[in-house]
Structure 1
Amino acid sequence: MPTYQELYEFIKSHYKPSRFENRNGKEWGERYSHNIAKHHMESLEKYGESNISQHEDITGQGLKFNTELKICRGEQVEYRSKAGNLTHIF
């Protein structure tokens, strides 16, 4: 399991800045990027993996990563989704 700081740096390197640290401020919250990192940490603890959507991914592809911060991209990625959320249609 990565430390919080390792995870934060990993996410920072894979998120579009406009969707991560550039959102820290009054509009999205001063700790917006830390809230995102916390969410990913909770996902790693609960599921052993987490996802970065194509909208947030710096490459625009989307990715899944595990507790070792190993990345899977493209057709190898199966995104979790719940009915009732917009993500269930993808």
Structure 2
Amino acid sequence: MSKFGELISSHVPVLFNFFTDWNEESTSMHPVLREVAAAIGDNARIIKINVDKNPELSDALRIKGLPTLIIYKQGEMKWRQSGAQDSEALINLLKQYAS
């Protein structure tokens, strides 16, 4: 989890997508996140975390619903939401926290 600590300490917003390959709503977010990444460029980072491969982190963050999206900036959680989101909303959120 020390790597996670490094990631959340970033000076740009970091959007984490907690997902599983067997959850349809989770996998439906992959193209949305590619669209967000293309639109936001270097102003934010997007990290996908498979909860099946990272159970300790998922438990520590109390990830229950999938997908769960969390934005961190400079070590602080800024936003969290479970369930699929649209690219426009995510782009606007990341722009808000990038400034």
Structure 1 length-normalised TM: 0.34
Q: Which has the higher strand share?
A: 2
Which structure's relative contact order is higher, taking Cα pairs within 8 Å and 6+ residues apart?
2
Structure 2 length-normalised TM: 0.31
